[in-house]
Each structure stands twice: as structure tokens, then as C-alpha cells.
Chain A
Amino acid sequence: MTPEPTAVIHDIGYRHYDGVRLGRGRATLALGVQSLRGVFGLGRTVRAKIMPLLLVAIMLMPTVVSIGVMALAKQFVMPYPNYAVFMQAVIAVFLAAQSPYLVAPDLRFRVLPLYLSRPLTVTDYVLAKLTALAVALFGLLAVPLTIEFVGELLVDLPGPPHTADYLGALGGAVLHAVLLSSVGIALASFTPRRGLGVASVIAFYMFTAAVSGIFAGVLISSGRDDLAGWALLLNPFFLVDYVQSALFGTTPVNTESAPPGIASCLILLAVVAVAVTGVLLRYRKAAS
């Protein structure tokens, strides 16, 4: 005797989708979130997680040391506004390692036409990628700063907490995020090869850092201290440092002969504008 069948599998065939269809904005947001997660290796292979997590760990080290010194020696050692300049090499490596990930595979494996055959536009795509990288960079800077600030409050050093400096440094983190993400994406999007992208971003950083250092050194040694500050603007981190000082009243790392604040601000704006325009033009061309 066979038992009565209790469950039956039905082939229900093709079902149409009649649920909600969200707009362009939500699709762009979804792309941004997916890109942001990917920058830190989330939702990717274990290998892809190593580099970003290692760099995040390195970024947190000075914070840990600084809190330790505050707790044990009751001394404030690391001013918030200078943190990004101190850590510039690590941030540059993070930028070089992660910005090509955001743009190169879509170009190399020709996924871009699939995005563009959907309600997304080229501008939405570029915006999502730029924002993802900017948010990642902001987090990379803001998290250690915030941890250190919380540490400072808990340790309760003699004298008032450095709240203004902390807020100024957060403002600086926004500036770093915007400048570095636009430059990073601009450089990385010119090649579909990830390795070349990494190389071009790191080469850009090393070149600007070296050239600005050499120029500044030569100018100072030949007695033209007034021009040295201008030479330092070539380095994106010093550029943001000066803009941060002009906008939020923090003390720049290089105090000698800072160029006028307005000039630094305009240069930063110009660099961002050129980089973003470059990316948009590049993608308009890639789309057609």
C-alpha cells in the first residue's frame, strides 16, 4: 500500500513581476552601497579582504598608541588635524589599491553596457563610484580620529579637550575624501587593467610628493621661503592641509610661508573639477 502523497511539486512556470520598481536614485544608491562594501572587501573573496583590512589596521595603530600615551603619560601627542598628513603614505596606498577595483573590472569585462541599458545614466554611475570611494576614505580617516577623540574624553587630560581641532580634522577628512576619490577614480578609469590603475595612482602620489618636496627644499635653501608653500601645494595631502587650515582654522603641518588660503581653496576646487570632468568625459566616450 502506498501512502497518500503529502506534498506535490508543481511547475508554476514563469511568473511575472508586479512588485515595486524603484527609481534611478535607489538604483544609484544600491550601486554605491555595493561599491562601498567592495572597497573594504565585503562580499568579495578572502584575498580581496586582506589589503583593505590590513590598511585599516595600520591606520588605527597611531590612534591606539596615542590613547595609550594619553592614559599612561597624561600627554597629548597627536594633534587631530595633522593625522592625515602623517598617515599620507598609507592613505595613498589604500587609494591606489582600491580605486581601480571600483572602475577597472566594469571596463575590462564590459559590464558597463549592462548598467547603461538600465535606467541608470553615465552620470549616476560615476556619481555612485565617486561617492563610494569618498565615503570609504572619509571613514578611513574619521574612524581613527573619532576613536582617539573618544579616548581623549575618557582619559580626561588636564585642560579642555581639543574639540575644535577634532571637528576641523573631520572637515579635513571630507576634503581629503573628495579630492582623493576624484583623482583616484580619474586616474584608475583611464585603463581597464587593474594593475596599471594601481601603478598609475601610486606613481601619481609618489611623483607629486617627491616633486613638491624637492621644489620646496630647493626654494628654502635658496632663500625663497615665500614660494616654498606654493611648491608644497603639489602634494595633495599638503594642499588639503592648507585648505583645512584656511577653512577651519587648524594649524598646518608646514607653518613656513603658507600660500594665501583662498588660493589653496581654489586650487583644490579646480583639481576636483578637472578630475570629475575627466571621468565624465571618459565614460561618455566609453558608453558610445
Chain B
Amino acid sequence: MTASATPCFATEGLTKRFPRVTALDDLTVAAGTGVTGLVGANGAGKSTLIKILLGLLPPTSGRASVLGLDTATQGLEIRRVVGYMPEHDCLPPDMSATEFVVHMAQMSGLPRTAARERAADTLRHVGLDEERYRPMGGYSTGMRQRVKLAQALVHDPQLVFLDEPTNGLDPQGRDDMLALIRRVGTEFGISVLVTSHLLGELERVCDHVIVIDGGRLLRSSAIREFTRAEQTVAVEVEEGQQRLAERLIAGGETVAAQGRLLTVQVSADDPGRTYDAVRDAVCDLGLSLLRLEQRRGRIEDVFKESTAKEPVA
């Protein structure tokens, strides 16, 4: 399926002005199925866009549609088939995760027995085991984020809006959450719109990335296009970083040092050559290799570049 055939959501000249700020400014963007990342700094208009897409906030001007439904007139139909995980905390501490997710499933229109089954299934999929019977007041941030995700998925939506799902998580929790999001998009077959202000983490899970800043579109394209430009390999050795760098540069590679890491630009026309050069250099110099890792160009770089080109007033 292509983006143009069945857009998950599309906006046209979408503008939202609050008394003091303009949250969205003439935003025209569309995304297809799969995992779409919505990137922007805090206050860039991400949450406002989600609220408009849910049909909860009327735009000042412009139009928006979700799964072919108009947000202005078909809000109820949209909310029947999408899920929403808010950025903020939203869990009553004296309820257990099971009770809460069952209740939320019923609020989406599932009969009680189906709601119980779906809640058990969904909580298992997000990785909450025995603790789901305990009151949520005692949950860690990671567990709370999982429950929030479960309530967004419990009614088996066609599309979920995840607002800053990795907020407040430690690096391990962040990785787990990102892997879970990837699973939702692929294995579960549910399209995802995930927001983050951290550009780096989205490139790992998204098929498509939309960058907004100050309510305006900076860029919208497939993840491949973001990262195609620059492919690097990071090398870390115990000692002799300097010697390795010199050797590689002498061999015609482009090398930059980032602290204890060396990043070597992978040759665009012959990628194998770069990898071989790194392997041979490490071997010949008898260095202990600590890390060798493939890196795609960071979205940050693209973001910086775009901002520089198109300064936002």
C-alpha cells in the first residue's frame, strides 16, 4: 500500500492559533501505513496536531483527515478506530492495570467478556506479567508506560497515536519501548504515529519521519532518504586510536574522532572496501577492538541542516 492510496492521516493547510501562540502554521503533510515519526522540539506543535487528528480540537483553519475520515465532522468514527497514548501520566493509582485496561476497553465499546480477554492479551504483549494485578500506584515508569500503551491498543485500533512514549525511561526501558513500537507497527499490523523530541531514537523504528518546528513542516520523507546520505562505521579500540586513524587516512578513508570513537565514512560506491580497510588496519596494528558498529547518518544532522536552510521566524 502506498501513502497516496490510503493515507493514515493527512492535513491540508492546517493552522491552529491559541490566544498567545500559533501551535500549527499552515501544515500540509500526509503519512501512509507503517510507523511514522513526528519529530520536533518541545512546543513544536506535536501534541496539538494529535489532538486535532483525534477530532478533539477544532483547527483555526485548514483541514485534516484520519483514515479517510474528516476530523471536523467524523471525530466519533475516528476515535472508534484509533488509539491514543498521552504524554502525561493518566493512571489512577488505586486501580490495577488489569481493571484499568478492561475498563478502557469497555469505554471503546467492547463487551465485558471481550474486554477482559483483550486486556489480558494486550498486557501480555506489552510485557506486563503478574504485576498487572497490583495497584498501579506502585509501578515504575517503565511499567506505567506499558500500561499506557496497552490501553491505547486494547480495542485493536487501526492506528495509534503515541505521544512521547519514551519520556522518562532509562536507556534500557527506552530500547524496550522502541522495540515494542516497532512490533506494533509490523507484527500487530497497526499503523503508528509516534512523537519524540529526540530525533535519534525514531530513526530506529520509523518507516517515515515528519519533522516540524514552530508548527511548520521542515521535512517529511521516508527514513531511507534521511539516512541514505551518510553511512558510517564506528570503531572503538582499547589503545592506539591515533595510530589507527592515521593508518586509515593514509589508506584513503575519511575518518573523524568522536571522543573514544572513530567514525569512518563508508565508501558509497564500494562499502566492502571500507570494512576491509578497518579490519586489516586493526589486525596489522595488533589493536584490541572493543566496538565495531554500523551507523546511519543521524536525523539530527538533517534536522540541523534543514533548520539552517530555512530559519524559522
Point out residues on A near B: beta carbons under 8 Å.
13-17, 19-24, 26-27, 30-31, 34, 43-45, 48, 105-106, 109-111, 113-121, 287-288
Q: A110 with B56: in contact, given A15-B121, A27-B107, A117-B84 (CB under 8 Å)?
A: no
Contact B86 A114 (CB under 8 A): yes
Closest residue of chain B to A34 (Cβ to Cβ) is B103
Known: A113-B86, A118-B155. 20 other contacts (CB 8 A): A14-B188, A15-B121, A16-B189, A17-B110, A19-B110, A20-B111, A22-B110, A27-B108, A34-B103, A34-B106, A44-B94, A48-B94, A105-B92, A109-B89, A109-B90, A110-B86, A114-B86, A114-B151, A118-B108, A119-B76
Contact B106 A43 (CB under 8 A): no
Q: A20 with B114: in contact, given A14-B188, A109-B89, A110-B86 (CB under 8 Å)?
A: yes
Complex partner residue of B118 from A17, A27, A31, A105, CB under 8 angstroms: A17
Most buried by A among B82, B107, B118: B107
Contact B90 A120 (CB under 8 A): no
Q: A16 with B156: in contact, given A24-B76, A118-B108, A119-B80 (CB under 8 Å)?
A: yes
Point out residues on B near A: beta carbons under 8 Å.
54, 56-57, 76, 79-80, 82-84, 86, 88-94, 99, 103-104, 106-112, 114, 118, 121, 125, 151, 155-156, 187-189
Most buried by A among B57, B109, B121: B109
Contact A120 B99 (CB under 8 A): no
Complex partner residue of A21 from B88, B89, B110, CB under 8 angstroms: B110
Contact A23 B90 (CB under 8 A): no
Contact B90 A22 (CB under 8 A): no
Nearest Cβ in chain A — how far from B120, in angstroms?
Answer: 12
Q: B interface, by DSSP: helix, strand, loop or mixed?
A: loop
Complex partner residue of B114 from A19, A23, A43, A117, CB under 8 angstroms: A19
Q: A23 with B109: in contact, given A14-B188, A119-B76, A119-B79 (CB under 8 Å)?
A: yes
Q: A interface, by DSSP: helix, strand, loop or mixed?
A: loop
Q: How far is the CA of A110 from the CA of B91 in the complex (A)?
A: 7
Closest residue of chain B to A122 (Cβ to Cβ) is B56
Nearest Cβ in chain B — how far from A217, in angstroms?
Answer: 44
Contact A21 B109 (CB under 8 A): yes
Q: A114 with B90: in contact, given A21-B109, A26-B109, A34-B103 (CB under 8 Å)?
A: yes
Most buried by A among B91, B106, B111: B106
Q: How far is the CA of A172 from the CA of B54 in the complex (A)?
A: 43
